[in-house]
Amino acid sequence: MKAVHFGAGNIGRGFIGALLADAGYHVQFVDVNDTVIQALNERGSYTVHVVGEEHTTFTVDNVSGINSKENEGAVIEAIQDADVITTAVGPHILPMLASTIAKGLLARKGVKPVNIIACENAIRATSQLKEAVIEKLGQAEWETIQEYTGFADAAVDRIVPNVQSDDLLAVTVEPFFEWVVEEPSLIGDPVSLGEAKLVEDLAPFIERKLFTVNTGHAVASYAGFRAGIETIKEALASDYIKHRVRGALNETKAILVDDHGFDPDEQEAYIDKIITRFENPYLEDKVQRVGRGPIRKLGVKDRLVKPAKALAEKGLHPESLVETIDDALHFYDETDEESVKLKQLIEEKGKIGAFTSITGIEDSHPLVELLRKRHE
Protein backbone atom coordinates (compact mmCIF):
# COMPACT_ATOMS: atom_id res chain seq x y z
CA MET A 1 0.00 0.00 0.00
CA LYS A 2 1.21 3.50 -0.80
CA ALA A 3 0.61 6.71 1.11
CA VAL A 4 1.56 10.23 0.05
CA HIS A 5 1.81 12.58 3.03
CA PHE A 6 2.22 16.35 2.54
CA GLY A 7 4.26 17.95 5.37
CA ALA A 8 7.23 16.09 6.88
CA GLY A 9 7.08 18.23 10.02
CA ASN A 10 6.27 17.38 13.63
CA ILE A 11 2.85 15.80 13.21
CA GLY A 12 3.70 14.34 9.79
CA ARG A 13 6.72 12.40 11.05
CA GLY A 14 5.66 12.08 14.69
CA PHE A 15 2.14 10.84 14.15
CA ILE A 16 0.43 10.38 10.77
CA GLY A 17 3.48 9.11 8.83
CA ALA A 18 4.44 6.81 11.71
CA LEU A 19 0.89 5.45 12.02
CA LEU A 20 0.56 4.82 8.27
CA ALA A 21 3.98 3.13 8.10
CA ASP A 22 2.94 0.93 11.03
CA ALA A 23 -0.25 0.02 9.13
CA GLY A 24 1.90 -1.30 6.28
CA TYR A 25 2.13 1.66 3.92
CA HIS A 26 5.22 2.92 2.14
CA VAL A 27 5.00 6.60 3.09
CA GLN A 28 6.24 9.20 0.60
CA PHE A 29 6.60 12.50 2.41
CA VAL A 30 6.16 15.62 0.26
CA ASP A 31 7.72 18.80 1.63
CA VAL A 32 9.40 22.05 0.57
CA ASN A 33 12.24 21.55 3.08
CA ASP A 34 15.00 20.02 0.97
CA THR A 35 17.26 19.08 3.89
CA VAL A 36 14.53 16.94 5.43
CA ILE A 37 13.60 15.36 2.09
CA GLN A 38 17.23 14.49 1.29
CA ALA A 39 17.69 12.92 4.72
CA LEU A 40 14.52 10.85 4.33
CA ASN A 41 15.77 9.55 0.97
CA GLU A 42 19.28 8.83 2.22
CA ARG A 43 18.13 6.96 5.33
CA GLY A 44 14.66 5.61 4.46
CA SER A 45 13.81 5.69 8.16
CA TYR A 46 13.72 7.93 11.24
CA THR A 47 13.39 7.72 15.01
CA VAL A 48 10.43 8.62 17.23
CA HIS A 49 10.97 9.19 20.98
CA VAL A 50 7.82 8.73 23.05
CA VAL A 51 8.16 10.58 26.36
CA GLY A 52 5.90 10.07 29.35
CA GLU A 53 5.93 7.98 32.51
CA GLU A 54 7.93 5.53 30.41
CA HIS A 55 10.28 6.52 27.59
CA THR A 56 10.29 4.39 24.47
CA THR A 57 11.92 4.79 21.09
CA PHE A 58 10.88 3.25 17.79
CA THR A 59 12.03 3.43 14.20
CA VAL A 60 9.74 4.30 11.32
CA ASP A 61 10.92 2.42 8.20
CA ASN A 62 9.79 2.28 4.62
CA VAL A 63 9.66 6.04 4.04
CA SER A 64 10.99 8.35 1.32
CA GLY A 65 10.60 11.98 0.30
CA ILE A 66 9.85 14.31 -2.60
CA ASN A 67 10.68 18.01 -2.77
CA SER A 68 7.51 19.53 -4.21
CA LYS A 69 9.19 22.87 -4.95
CA GLU A 70 11.71 21.23 -7.26
CA ASN A 71 9.85 18.22 -8.59
CA GLU A 72 6.09 18.62 -8.99
CA GLY A 73 6.15 15.85 -11.61
CA ALA A 74 7.32 13.31 -9.03
CA VAL A 75 4.51 14.35 -6.67
CA ILE A 76 1.95 13.90 -9.45
CA GLU A 77 3.37 10.45 -10.20
CA ALA A 78 3.22 9.49 -6.51
CA ILE A 79 -0.42 10.64 -6.27
CA GLN A 80 -1.21 8.62 -9.40
CA ASP A 81 -0.28 5.45 -7.56
CA ALA A 82 -1.34 6.24 -3.95
CA ASP A 83 -4.00 4.49 -1.86
CA VAL A 84 -4.21 7.30 0.63
CA ILE A 85 -3.16 10.98 0.59
CA THR A 86 -2.80 12.85 3.88
CA THR A 87 -1.64 16.33 4.86
CA ALA A 88 -0.23 18.05 7.96
CA VAL A 89 1.05 21.37 6.62
CA GLY A 90 -1.10 23.95 8.43
CA PRO A 91 -4.59 25.02 7.29
CA HIS A 92 -3.27 28.15 5.50
CA ILE A 93 -1.03 26.00 3.25
CA LEU A 94 -3.83 23.65 2.08
CA PRO A 95 -4.95 25.84 -0.88
CA MET A 96 -1.34 25.79 -2.15
CA LEU A 97 -1.48 21.99 -2.48
CA ALA A 98 -4.71 21.98 -4.50
CA SER A 99 -3.27 22.38 -7.99
CA THR A 100 -0.75 19.52 -7.64
CA ILE A 101 -3.32 17.24 -6.01
CA ALA A 102 -5.82 18.00 -8.81
CA LYS A 103 -3.21 17.13 -11.47
CA GLY A 104 -2.31 13.90 -9.66
CA LEU A 105 -5.95 12.84 -9.32
CA LEU A 106 -6.63 13.57 -12.99
CA ALA A 107 -3.63 11.42 -13.96
CA ARG A 108 -5.08 8.38 -12.06
CA LYS A 109 -7.92 7.87 -14.56
CA GLY A 110 -9.91 5.81 -12.08
CA VAL A 111 -7.46 2.91 -11.77
CA LYS A 112 -8.41 2.41 -8.11
CA PRO A 113 -10.04 4.40 -5.31
CA VAL A 114 -8.01 6.88 -3.28
CA ASN A 115 -8.84 8.71 -0.04
CA ILE A 116 -7.66 12.18 0.94
CA ILE A 117 -7.52 13.17 4.62
CA ALA A 118 -6.28 16.57 5.82
CA CYS A 119 -4.89 16.28 9.36
CA GLU A 120 -4.95 19.91 10.43
CA ASN A 121 -6.32 21.76 13.45
CA ALA A 122 -9.33 23.25 11.74
CA ILE A 123 -13.02 22.44 11.42
CA ARG A 124 -13.47 20.24 8.32
CA ALA A 125 -10.02 20.89 6.85
CA THR A 126 -10.45 18.11 4.25
CA SER A 127 -13.65 19.74 3.00
CA GLN A 128 -11.72 23.00 2.63
CA LEU A 129 -9.03 21.19 0.62
CA LYS A 130 -11.73 19.51 -1.49
CA GLU A 131 -13.22 22.92 -2.38
CA ALA A 132 -9.75 24.19 -3.34
CA VAL A 133 -9.19 21.11 -5.56
CA ILE A 134 -12.61 21.55 -7.22
CA GLU A 135 -11.68 25.16 -8.05
CA LYS A 136 -8.73 23.87 -10.06
CA LEU A 137 -10.90 21.56 -12.19
CA GLY A 138 -13.52 21.85 -14.92
CA GLN A 139 -16.98 20.38 -14.18
CA ALA A 140 -16.39 17.24 -16.28
CA GLU A 141 -12.97 16.67 -14.72
CA TRP A 142 -14.43 16.89 -11.22
CA GLU A 143 -17.25 14.49 -12.12
CA THR A 144 -14.67 11.93 -13.25
CA ILE A 145 -12.41 12.38 -10.25
CA GLN A 146 -15.13 12.13 -7.63
CA GLU A 147 -16.01 8.63 -8.82
CA TYR A 148 -12.73 7.32 -7.43
CA THR A 149 -11.75 9.90 -4.78
CA GLY A 150 -12.94 10.15 -1.17
CA PHE A 151 -12.39 13.32 0.88
CA ALA A 152 -12.77 12.45 4.56
CA ASP A 153 -12.65 15.02 7.37
CA ALA A 154 -10.58 14.18 10.43
CA ALA A 155 -9.47 15.28 13.89
CA VAL A 156 -5.86 14.72 14.89
CA ASP A 157 -4.54 14.84 18.43
CA ARG A 158 -1.00 14.30 19.65
CA ILE A 159 1.33 16.92 21.14
CA VAL A 160 4.50 17.02 19.04
CA PRO A 161 6.77 19.93 20.04
CA ASN A 162 9.74 21.41 18.18
CA VAL A 163 12.81 19.73 19.64
CA GLN A 164 16.41 20.73 18.92
CA SER A 165 18.41 17.60 18.22
CA ASP A 166 21.56 16.54 16.34
CA ASP A 167 19.33 14.17 14.39
CA LEU A 168 17.19 16.38 12.16
CA LEU A 169 14.66 13.63 11.42
CA ALA A 170 14.10 12.48 15.01
CA VAL A 171 10.84 13.55 16.65
CA THR A 172 9.71 13.59 20.27
CA VAL A 173 6.05 12.89 20.97
CA GLU A 174 3.73 12.39 23.94
CA PRO A 175 2.32 8.85 24.45
CA PHE A 176 -1.31 9.90 23.82
CA PHE A 177 -2.66 9.94 20.24
CA GLU A 178 -6.05 10.03 18.59
CA TRP A 179 -6.87 10.18 14.87
CA VAL A 180 -10.60 10.31 14.18
CA VAL A 181 -11.78 9.99 10.57
CA GLU A 182 -15.31 10.42 9.19
CA GLU A 183 -16.04 7.02 7.70
CA PRO A 184 -19.01 7.71 5.35
CA SER A 185 -16.78 9.91 3.17
CA LEU A 186 -14.18 7.16 2.62
CA ILE A 187 -14.34 5.39 -0.71
CA GLY A 188 -13.41 1.86 -1.81
CA ASP A 189 -12.95 -1.44 0.00
CA PRO A 190 -12.56 -1.25 3.79
CA VAL A 191 -9.82 1.32 3.99
CA SER A 192 -6.85 0.38 6.11
CA LEU A 193 -5.99 3.31 8.37
CA GLY A 194 -4.24 1.45 11.16
CA GLU A 195 -5.12 2.82 14.57
CA ALA A 196 -7.45 5.55 13.30
CA LYS A 197 -10.91 5.63 14.86
CA LEU A 198 -13.67 5.70 12.24
CA VAL A 199 -16.85 7.61 13.11
CA GLU A 200 -20.16 8.39 11.39
CA ASP A 201 -20.10 12.14 12.13
CA LEU A 202 -16.90 14.04 12.87
CA ALA A 203 -18.54 17.27 14.12
CA PRO A 204 -18.64 16.44 17.86
CA PHE A 205 -15.11 15.00 17.79
CA ILE A 206 -13.39 17.89 16.01
CA GLU A 207 -15.24 20.50 18.08
CA ARG A 208 -14.45 18.73 21.35
CA LYS A 209 -10.78 18.42 20.35
CA LEU A 210 -10.37 21.99 19.07
CA PHE A 211 -12.40 23.62 21.88
CA THR A 212 -10.72 21.66 24.66
CA VAL A 213 -7.14 20.66 23.71
CA ASN A 214 -6.46 23.66 21.51
CA THR A 215 -8.44 26.21 23.54
CA GLY A 216 -6.64 25.12 26.72
CA HIS A 217 -3.30 25.17 24.91
CA ALA A 218 -3.99 28.68 23.59
CA VAL A 219 -4.76 29.95 27.11
CA ALA A 220 -1.52 28.46 28.47
CA SER A 221 0.47 29.84 25.54
CA TYR A 222 -0.88 33.41 25.40
CA ALA A 223 -1.15 33.88 29.17
CA GLY A 224 2.29 32.27 29.53
CA PHE A 225 3.82 34.54 26.91
CA ARG A 226 2.39 37.62 28.61
CA ALA A 227 3.85 36.45 31.93
CA GLY A 228 7.30 35.94 30.35
CA ILE A 229 7.11 32.13 30.60
CA GLU A 230 8.87 29.93 28.01
CA THR A 231 7.16 26.55 27.99
CA ILE A 232 3.65 25.14 28.36
CA LYS A 233 4.53 22.98 31.34
CA GLU A 234 5.98 26.05 33.13
CA ALA A 235 2.79 27.95 32.33
CA LEU A 236 0.74 25.15 33.93
CA ALA A 237 3.00 25.28 37.00
CA SER A 238 1.61 28.76 37.67
CA ASP A 239 -1.58 28.42 39.75
CA TYR A 240 -2.94 31.55 38.13
CA ILE A 241 -2.50 30.24 34.56
CA LYS A 242 -3.74 26.77 35.43
CA HIS A 243 -6.84 28.37 36.93
CA ARG A 244 -7.29 30.34 33.71
CA VAL A 245 -6.95 27.18 31.58
CA ARG A 246 -9.57 25.41 33.67
CA GLY A 247 -11.80 28.49 33.59
CA ALA A 248 -11.73 28.65 29.78
CA LEU A 249 -12.36 24.90 29.51
CA ASN A 250 -15.38 25.21 31.80
CA GLU A 251 -16.66 27.88 29.44
CA THR A 252 -16.19 25.72 26.32
CA LYS A 253 -17.64 22.73 28.20
CA ALA A 254 -20.97 24.58 28.43
CA ILE A 255 -21.06 24.88 24.63
CA LEU A 256 -19.90 21.31 23.96
CA VAL A 257 -22.46 19.82 26.36
CA ASP A 258 -25.26 21.96 24.85
CA ASP A 259 -24.37 21.51 21.19
CA HIS A 260 -23.29 17.87 21.13
CA GLY A 261 -24.86 16.34 24.23
CA PHE A 262 -21.54 15.32 25.82
CA ASP A 263 -21.97 13.98 29.33
CA PRO A 264 -20.74 16.77 31.69
CA ASP A 265 -18.80 14.32 33.90
CA GLU A 266 -17.11 12.73 30.89
CA GLN A 267 -16.16 16.16 29.60
CA GLU A 268 -14.72 17.02 33.03
CA ALA A 269 -12.61 13.84 32.90
CA TYR A 270 -11.49 14.74 29.35
CA ILE A 271 -10.44 18.21 30.62
CA ASP A 272 -8.48 16.67 33.54
CA LYS A 273 -6.67 14.34 31.18
CA ILE A 274 -5.75 17.18 28.84
CA ILE A 275 -4.39 19.34 31.64
CA THR A 276 -2.21 16.39 32.70
CA ARG A 277 -0.98 16.10 29.10
CA PHE A 278 -0.02 19.82 29.11
CA GLU A 279 1.89 19.22 32.37
CA ASN A 280 3.97 16.35 30.91
CA PRO A 281 7.38 17.09 32.52
CA TYR A 282 9.25 15.50 29.62
CA LEU A 283 7.84 17.75 26.86
CA GLU A 284 9.72 20.99 26.15
CA ASP A 285 6.86 22.64 24.26
CA LYS A 286 7.49 26.35 23.80
CA VAL A 287 4.69 28.91 24.17
CA GLN A 288 5.85 30.28 20.79
CA ARG A 289 4.99 27.03 18.96
CA VAL A 290 1.59 26.76 20.60
CA GLY A 291 0.80 30.46 20.02
CA ARG A 292 2.00 30.50 16.39
CA GLY A 293 -0.38 31.98 13.81
CA PRO A 294 -2.37 34.26 16.15
CA ILE A 295 -4.49 35.63 13.27
CA ARG A 296 -5.65 32.09 12.42
CA LYS A 297 -6.23 31.35 16.09
CA LEU A 298 -8.36 34.50 16.44
CA GLY A 299 -10.48 33.37 13.48
CA VAL A 300 -14.25 33.37 13.93
CA LYS A 301 -14.44 29.57 13.66
CA ASP A 302 -11.36 28.84 15.72
CA ARG A 303 -10.59 27.77 19.33
CA LEU A 304 -11.14 31.08 21.14
CA VAL A 305 -13.60 33.22 19.25
CA LYS A 306 -16.16 30.61 18.21
CA PRO A 307 -17.01 29.47 21.76
CA ALA A 308 -16.63 32.99 23.23
CA LYS A 309 -18.97 34.44 20.58
CA ALA A 310 -21.58 31.72 21.13
CA LEU A 311 -21.55 32.33 24.91
CA ALA A 312 -21.68 36.12 24.54
CA GLU A 313 -24.68 35.75 22.22
CA LYS A 314 -26.45 33.85 25.03
CA GLY A 315 -25.92 36.86 27.29
CA LEU A 316 -23.11 35.14 29.23
CA HIS A 317 -19.67 36.52 30.09
CA PRO A 318 -16.93 34.06 29.07
CA GLU A 319 -14.33 35.84 31.18
CA SER A 320 -11.42 33.44 30.69
CA LEU A 321 -11.88 33.26 26.92
CA VAL A 322 -12.13 37.05 26.65
CA GLU A 323 -8.96 37.43 28.75
CA THR A 324 -7.18 35.01 26.42
CA ILE A 325 -8.37 36.84 23.31
CA ASP A 326 -6.88 39.96 24.88
CA ASP A 327 -3.63 38.05 25.61
CA ALA A 328 -3.54 36.75 22.03
CA LEU A 329 -3.60 40.37 20.81
CA HIS A 330 -0.40 40.92 22.85
CA PHE A 331 1.42 37.85 21.46
CA TYR A 332 4.53 38.61 19.42
CA ASP A 333 7.17 36.43 17.85
CA GLU A 334 9.33 38.07 15.18
CA THR A 335 9.83 34.70 13.43
CA ASP A 336 6.09 34.16 13.05
CA GLU A 337 4.71 35.94 9.96
CA GLU A 338 1.15 36.21 11.32
CA SER A 339 2.35 37.64 14.58
CA VAL A 340 4.26 40.38 12.73
CA LYS A 341 1.14 41.12 10.64
CA LEU A 342 -0.99 41.25 13.79
CA LYS A 343 1.34 43.81 15.35
CA GLN A 344 1.10 46.01 12.23
CA LEU A 345 -2.69 45.68 12.18
CA ILE A 346 -2.91 46.73 15.84
CA GLU A 347 -0.64 49.73 15.17
CA GLU A 348 -2.99 50.75 12.33
CA LYS A 349 -6.41 50.04 13.86
CA GLY A 350 -5.95 49.56 17.59
CA LYS A 351 -6.72 46.27 19.37
CA ILE A 352 -10.51 46.35 18.98
CA GLY A 353 -10.23 47.42 15.32
CA ALA A 354 -7.75 44.60 14.65
CA PHE A 355 -10.06 42.11 16.36
CA THR A 356 -13.15 43.12 14.38
CA SER A 357 -11.21 43.16 11.12
CA ILE A 358 -9.72 39.66 11.73
CA THR A 359 -13.00 38.10 12.87
CA GLY A 360 -15.48 40.07 10.76
CA ILE A 361 -17.60 40.49 13.91
CA GLU A 362 -19.48 43.81 14.03
CA ASP A 363 -18.33 46.45 16.52
CA SER A 364 -21.66 46.36 18.43
CA HIS A 365 -21.53 42.57 19.08
CA PRO A 366 -21.66 41.62 22.80
CA LEU A 367 -18.28 39.86 22.51
CA VAL A 368 -16.66 43.07 21.26
CA GLU A 369 -18.33 44.94 24.13
CA LEU A 370 -16.80 42.46 26.61
CA LEU A 371 -13.38 42.83 25.03
CA ARG A 372 -13.68 46.61 25.08
CA LYS A 373 -14.65 46.58 28.78
CA ARG A 374 -11.63 44.39 29.49
CA HIS A 375 -9.34 46.97 27.83
CA GLU A 376 -10.91 49.79 29.78
Annotated binding site for NAD(+): 3-14
Q: How far is the CB of 282 from ligand 44H (least distance, A)?
A: 15
Interface positions, 148-177, toward ligand NAD (CB under 6 A): 156-160
Q: How far is the CB of 139 from ligand 44H (least distance, A)?
A: 34
Distance CA 43, CA 376 (A): 57
Helix (H, G, I), strand (E, B) or coil at 29: strand
Nearest to 156 by CA among 53, 353, 9, 295: 9
CB closer to ligand NAD out of 90 and 104: 90
Return the bridge partners of 50, or none.
56, 173
> What would the x/- binding string for ligand 44H be over residues 15 to 54, using CB under 6 A?
----------------------------------------
Q: In this structure, which amino acid lies at residue 181?
A: V
Q: How far is the CB of 189 from ligand NAD (least distance, A)?
A: 28
Rule CB under 6 A: say whether 10 interacts with ligand NAD: yes
Check if the beta carbon of residue 67 is closer than 8 Å to that of residue 32: yes
State the binding partner of 213 from ligand NAD, ligand 44H, none, CB within 5 to 8 A by kind: ligand 44H
What does R_g of the chain's alpha carbons equal in angstroms? 21
Helix (H, G, I), strand (E, B) or coil at 269: helix
Stretch that binds ligand NAD, among 2-10, 51-59, 312-320, 335-343 (CB under 6 A): 2-10
Rule CB under 6 A: say whether 299 interacts with ligand NAD: no
Distance CA 62, CA 21 (A): 7
Q: How far is the CB of 91 from ligand NAD (least distance, A)?
A: 6
Q: How far is the CB of 113 from ligand NAD (least distance, A)?
A: 24
Check if the beta carbon of residue 129 is closer than 8 Å to that of residue 101: yes
> What would the x/- binding string for ligand 44H be over residues 110 to 149, using CB under 6 A?
-----------x----------------------------
Check if the beta carbon of residue 66 is closer than 8 Å to that of residue 29: yes
Rule CB under 6 A: say whether 9 interacts with ligand 44H: no
Q: How far is the CB of 156 from ligand 44H (least distance, A)?
A: 6
CB closer to ligand NAD out of 270 and 311: 270
SS3 readout for 81-133: CCCEEEECCCHHHHHHHHHHHHHHHHHHCCCCCEEEEECCCCCCHHHHHHHHH
Q: In this structure, which amino acid lies at residue 297?
A: K
Q: How far is the CB of 9 from ligand NAD (least distance, A)?
A: 2
Of 28, 68, 214, 324, the one binding ligand 44H (CB under 6 A) is 214
Check if the beta carbon of residue 105 is closer than 8 Å to that of residue 133: yes
Distance CA 4, CA 181 (A): 17
Interface positions, 55-94, toward ligand NAD (CB under 6 A): 68, 88-91, 93
Check if the beta carbon of residue 211 is closer than 8 Å to that of residue 311: no
Rule CB under 6 A: say whether 291 interacts with ligand NAD: no
Helix (H, G, I), strand (E, B) or coil at 348: helix
Handedness of CA 278, 280, 281, 284 (dihedral sign): negative
Of 19, 159, 181, 368, the one binding ligand 44H (CB under 6 A) is 159
Residues forming contacts to ligand 44H in the complex (CB under 6 A) are 121, 157-159, 213-214, 217, 290, 292-293
Binding site for ligand NAD (CB under 6 A): 6-12, 30-33, 68, 88-91, 93, 96, 119-121, 156-160
